[in-house]
Chains A and B, each alone.
Chain A
Amino acid sequence: MELTLERIEHKVGAQTWLHPLDLTLVPRAVTVLLGATQAGKTTLMRVMAGLDTPTSGRVKADGHDVTGMPVRERNVAMVYQQFINYPSMTVADNIASPLKLRGEANITQRVLELAKKLHIEPFLKRLPAELSGGQQQRVALARALAKKAPLMLLDEPLVNLDYKLREELREELTQLFAAGDSTVVYATTEPTEALLLGGYTAVLDAGELLQYGPTAEVFRRPKSIRVARAFSDPPMNLVAGTAASLGVSLAAGVNLSVPLPALGAAAVSAALTIGVRASALRVHGRDGDVALPGTVELAEISGSDTFVHVDTAIGEVVVQLTGVHQFALASSITLYLNPSQVYVFDAAGDLLVAPSFGER
């Protein structure tokens, strides 16, 4: 399905929950809605589903205006954070319910196929309450998939699961989405989840749609500091600087030679912000690097990566190192940065320079 939102705005009382936005979802692909809590992800999804009518603007499905058409008259599947199933029905009946509602044939067969796909076949005769959280959410997902709806909306479906289950289910969902025909919208607060899902990403912040495009492209070329902040985990390191003849000057006499685009007459000494992804900082120097001595404030270990918080002359920065590395609090460390790896944003926060990739 091609879903188009035209100048959608949503207000509740005096508060604006969604600022006017235009968005056409890429059909039969996954679109990730990425943003912090309260960014407007759920509000936007409710408008897409027809659960809420926007204050102004139009919602179009395959070119037909469906603004204000209630959700039950549309063919939309939804999955929520909470594991929502019919508590008094068996797992099999839960999955079968949308099929029965539409009077479809071969229901037993279809239920079995879906249960197999989601690895809940052994539990078909149980009640949802007799299952673990992960299994309950699999039932809700199977029921949503059973609808074969052209539009499938998932609102942080894995957030209430342990990270190992999340990994497993995300992997399976990615494959199911790729194999299906639905236009999928998937809300998350986690940048890494957006990257793992791939597809397209719409970045939301404070009720505004900031950027929409292929996920990896939005990640590589965030058009503003706000997008970069929303789409980085750990947060992108942002450091104030000024334009200099040969690049950017930062605090404490640190200079980075970055070719800046023509900035006009006011260029020299214009206020800029440089952005450095945690993964662009290293602990081993290479040719052309700038060295940044500092002290370790904390090393956070994720199991696959170590995030070292370091106090340096240009401020506190976070470094991402692959694997597990241990650092004592307050120990000395030198970080290295290649100037070709930095982002430069202008005083308004808009992107001026992005690093070139594939050349690292």
Chain B
Amino acid sequence: MARIDLDLAHAYKPNPQRDEDYALLPLKMSFADGGAYALLGPSGCGKTTMLNIISGLVTPSHGGVKFDGKDVTTLTPQQRNIAQVFQFPVIYDTMTVAENLAFPLRNRGVPPERIKQRVGAIAEMLEMSRQLDMRAAGLAADAKQKISLGRGLVREDVSAVLFDEPLTVIDPHLKWQLRRKLKQIHHELKLTLVYVTHDQVEALTFADQVVVMTRGRAVQIGSASQLFERPQHTFVGHFIGSPGMNFLPVDVAPGAPAGATTLGVRPEYVTLAAPNTAGAVAVTVTQAQDIGTYWLVTATVAGSDAIVRARLSPDQPIPKAGEAAWFGVVGRHTCFYKNEELVA
């Protein structure tokens, strides 16, 4: 296992001039030894480029990569001793499950006794012990992907295990189970894991630290709570949560810190308030959706076109579409932004 330091930028075309020419803008960041990280962002944000630079599939156009302080910028994935799991199963159909799991170990000349032990342990973790002697060809797509995960995790001496959207082909019901498995495996093996995904559930559940990326930039690195409670950038507020954070011009309610231009409040923290309550704004409800266990109420702030969504508990009277109401938007969970960056 290794600590990974990046101090680099990457452009796929020569002579990058403007920000848009870079797949990754200049960045400096570290992945701690034994940490579980996720790279989260929409397509085109640079997350896969970053993963490929860590693995050695892509050489950064500027700067370099260090593993435990040693420069590995020009080394191949094999020389870096990286294990990788991809979106689609990469296994040998003609081999049995056990042979597939043993393959990365056999390749490295691990003694047979030790191979047997490791294969047994990994199969146990993935609940595949009973399928060990089955040929991979006959298995369903998700079972094959489980083998891929197992192959990625079977070696103890790797610098890091990298995952590129590994649960894409897995049925939603099984995803629950595999997310838990991955989390448990990290807990037990303490591997350095880096996981790329566009899915917030996978990123927030799996990782201790989530790197949120947009347009070639890592805009925040933090725990799930930090990303939810204190988004450092409006993009994080928007991208994390369904629906994401509400953003309003600060002049809708008094009390904003000097310099702030935008107020951010999550739908979960918007409250129904009495008229003229401090920190509340007058709104007109445009839509009230009954989501079974809560209500999602969408409204426009009176005298503006700003939209606020509130997630309200059904144990209170819920305003209907067309009705006027007051929404509490300033509280201890409210964030303030200037130029998209958190200021208070």
Residue positions of A touching B, CB distance < 8 A:
36-37, 132, 162-164, 167, 174, 189, 192, 195-196, 198, 215-216, 219-220, 234-235, 277, 279, 297-304, 309, 320, 322-326, 329, 357-360
- A72 CB to nearest chain B CB (Å): 35
The answer to whether A37 and B171 touch across the interface, beta carbons within 8 angstroms, is yes
Which residues between 71 and 128 of chain B lie within 8 Å of chain A, taking CB atoms?
Answer: none
The residue in B241, B267, B315 that gathers the most chain A C-beta atoms within 10 A of its C-beta is B241
- B211 CB to nearest chain A CB (Å): 15
The answer to whether B205 and A299 touch across the interface, beta carbons within 8 angstroms, is yes
The answer to whether B184 and A324 touch across the interface, beta carbons within 8 angstroms, is no
Interface-facing stretch out of B9-17, B196-204, B256-264: B196-204
The answer to whether A326 and B314 touch across the interface, beta carbons within 8 angstroms, is no
The answer to whether B268 and A323 touch across the interface, beta carbons within 8 angstroms, is yes
The answer to whether B289 and A303 touch across the interface, beta carbons within 8 angstroms, is no
Given contacts A163-B242, A303-B240, contact A322 B311 (CB under 8 A): yes
The answer to whether A301 and B314 touch across the interface, beta carbons within 8 angstroms, is no
Which residue in A198, A235, A359 is a CB contact (below 8 Å) of B289? Answer: A198
Shortest Cβ distance from B315 into A: residue: A360
The residue in B42, B241, B293 that gathers the most chain A C-beta atoms within 10 A of its C-beta is B293
Shortest Cβ distance from B171 into A: residue: A37
Q: Is B320 an interface residue (CB 8 A)?
A: no
Given contacts A164-B42, A309-B180, contact A326 B224 (CB under 8 A): yes
Shortest Cβ distance from B200 into A: residue: A303
Per CB-CB distance, the 4 closest pairs between chain A and chain B, nearest first, are: A324-B228, A301-B204, A279-B293, A303-B200
A-B contacts, 9 of them at CB < 8 A, read A162-B42, A162-B43, A164-B42, A164-B239, A198-B290, A300-B201, A323-B228, A324-B225, A360-B315
Residue positions of B touching A, CB distance < 8 A:
42-43, 171-173, 176, 179-180, 183-184, 187, 198-201, 204-205, 223-225, 227-229, 238-244, 266-268, 287, 289-294, 296, 311, 313-315
The answer to whether B205 and A301 touch across the interface, beta carbons within 8 angstroms, is yes
- A275 CB to nearest chain B CB (Å): 14
A301 to B173, CA, bound (A): 16
The answer to whether A167 and B223 touch across the interface, beta carbons within 8 angstroms, is no
Given contacts A164-B42, A322-B311, contact A277 B201 (CB under 8 A): no
Which residue in A132, A195, A325 is a CB contact (below 8 Å) of B290? Answer: A195
The answer to whether B289 and A304 touch across the interface, beta carbons within 8 angstroms, is no
A47 to B290, CA, bound (A): 30
A196 to B293, CA, bound (A): 12
The answer to whether A324 and B224 touch across the interface, beta carbons within 8 angstroms, is yes
- Chain A contacts for B205, CB-based, 8 A: 298-301
Shortest Cβ distance from A323 into B: residue: B268
A6 to B187, CA, bound (A): 55
The answer to whether A298 and B241 touch across the interface, beta carbons within 8 angstroms, is no
The answer to whether A162 and B198 touch across the interface, beta carbons within 8 angstroms, is yes
- Chain A contacts for B292, CB-based, 8 A: 195, 216, 219-220
Given contacts A162-B43, A189-B172, A302-B242, contact A196 B180 (CB under 8 A): no
A219 to B205, CA, bound (A): 27
The answer to whether A329 and B183 touch across the interface, beta carbons within 8 angstroms, is yes
Shortest Cβ distance from A357 into B: residue: B314
A198 to B239, CA, bound (A): 24
- Kindly list 18 other residue pairs between chains A and B, CB separation below 8 angstroms, not including A162-B42, A304-B243, A324-B204: A37-B171, A162-B43, A164-B239, A195-B291, A195-B292, A196-B289, A219-B292, A298-B180, A298-B184, A298-B205, A299-B205, A300-B176, A300-B179, A304-B267, A304-B268, A323-B266, A324-B225, A329-B183
- Chain B contacts for A219, CB-based, 8 A: 292
- A192 CB to nearest chain B CB (Å): 7
A324 to B43, CA, bound (A): 24
- A331 CB to nearest chain B CB (Å): 12
Which residue in B42, B198, B229 is a CB contact (below 8 Å) of A324? Answer: B229
The residue in A215, A277, A323, A357 that gathers the most chain B C-beta atoms within 10 A of its C-beta is A323
A163 to B200, CA, bound (A): 9
- Chain A contacts for B43, CB-based, 8 A: 132, 162
The answer to whether A298 and B183 touch across the interface, beta carbons within 8 angstroms, is yes
The answer to whether B201 and A302 touch across the interface, beta carbons within 8 angstroms, is yes
The residue in B225, B241, B290 that gathers the most chain A C-beta atoms within 10 A of its C-beta is B290
- Chain A contacts for B238, CB-based, 8 A: 164
A325 to B229, CA, bound (A): 10
The answer to whether A360 and B314 touch across the interface, beta carbons within 8 angstroms, is yes
A162 to B238, CA, bound (A): 14
- Chain B contacts for A359, CB-based, 8 A: 315
Which residue in B199, B242, B290 is a CB contact (below 8 Å) of A167? Answer: B242
A16 to B176, CA, bound (A): 30
- Chain B contacts for A357, CB-based, 8 A: 314
A132 to B314, CA, bound (A): 38
- B26 CB to nearest chain A CB (Å): 26
